[in-house]
């Protein structure tokens, strides 16, 4: 009996997206974030307004919220989904203080972090098998990149790759003193426009200095403030999305 599971991803091209009722599918969707990138994509005329985040009423650690979001993805068929799952418990910075966190808290928090990460991988695979695009963002040194589903997707879906870059090149600075924050970051994606824009964009040395995302500044931890995407980064990702959805050559 032939397998009902599709093993190879179709070629990624922006689909026409017409639904049965004649309406168009969404261009973009954002997960684990308030509408930061979506604010820019809407200004560029792209369709899509679903931002699934705690700030917008979605708790994706809950099964019913996951089920509802999967139904929305099936209904909306977004051309590209931005996946920004919480990275705190996978971060190198936290590992330095790991021994100071009570064991039961570590275990509970890590279990939740893995649940959200693996839900992101499920959305990634849905997009890949449907011939649509995704962008998954985490720090370059995060242990999440060692998850077996990462290598599995790279092996099975041609065109899926990493774009490693430094956030200081896209406007990341500290809250008060506006000192550049390097924050080496990785995007995993099958969108060629995103790969071309971000792959290999490391610090060019033009900054006088960097600072680590440690300690506090302006009443907020620098690591927390560094979770907010700079305007330049959001604008570049939005433009990549527009070019992809409109089939603009790379």
Specify the pLDDT at position 96: 62
More confident residue, 20 or 101: 101
Q: What is the pLDDT of residues 61-88, one digit of tens each?
A: 999 999 999 999 999 999 999 999 999 8
Q: Is 231 in a helix, a strand, or coil? A: helix
Domain ranges of the chain: 28-245
| C-alpha distance from residue 250 to each of 46, 79, 136, 194, 225 (Å) | 18, 17, 20, 9, 32
Specify the pLDDT at position 127: 98
CB of 58 closer than 8 Å to CB of 69? yes
Specify the pLDDT at position 6: 36
Quote the strand ranges of 94-183, DSSP E.
Answer: 133-139, 161-166
Q: What is the pLDDT of residues 189-238, one digit of tens each?
A: 999 999 999 999 999 988 878 776 666 667 766 566 667 899 999 999 99
Q: What is the pLDDT of residues 11-33, one digit of tens each?
A: 444 444 555 555 679 999 999 99
CATH of 28-245, one of 2.115.10, 3.40.50, 1.10.10, 2.30.29: 3.40.50
CA angle 32, 36, 40 (to 5 degrees): 140
CB of 128 closer than 8 Å to CB of 134? yes
The pTM of this model reads 0.86
């Amino acid at each position: 009996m032939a397998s009902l599971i599709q093993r190879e991803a179709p070629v990624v091209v922006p689909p026409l997206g017409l639904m049965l009722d004649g309406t168009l599918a969404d261009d973009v969707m954002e997960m684990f974030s308030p509408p930061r990138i979506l604010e820019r994509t809407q200004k560029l005329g792209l369709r899509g307004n679903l931002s699934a985040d705690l700030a917008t009423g979605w708790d994706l650690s809950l099964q019913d919220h996951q089920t509802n979001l999967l139904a929305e993805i099936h209904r909306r068929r977004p051309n590209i989904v931005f996946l920004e799952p919480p990275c705190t418990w996978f971060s190198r910075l936290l590992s330095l203080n790991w021994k100071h966190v009570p064991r039961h808290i570590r275990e509970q928090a890590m279990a939740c972090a893995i649940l959200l990460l693996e839900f992101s991988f499920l959305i990634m695979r849905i997009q890949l098998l449907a011939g649509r695009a995704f962008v998954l963002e985490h720090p370059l040194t995060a242990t999440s990149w060692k998850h077996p589903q990462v290598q599995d997707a790279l092996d099975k879906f041609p065109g899926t790759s990493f774009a490693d870059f430094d956030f200081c090149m896209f406007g990341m600075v500290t809250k008060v003193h506006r000192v550049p924050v390097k924050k080496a970051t990785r995007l995993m994606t099958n969108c060629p426009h995103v790969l071309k824009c971000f792959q290999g964009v490391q610090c060019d040395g033009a900054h006088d200095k960097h600072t680590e995302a440690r300690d506090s500044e302006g009443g907020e931890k620098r690591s927390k403030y560094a979770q907010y995407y700079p305007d330049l980064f959001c604008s570049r990702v939005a433009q990549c999305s527009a070019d992809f959805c409109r089939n603009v050559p790379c």
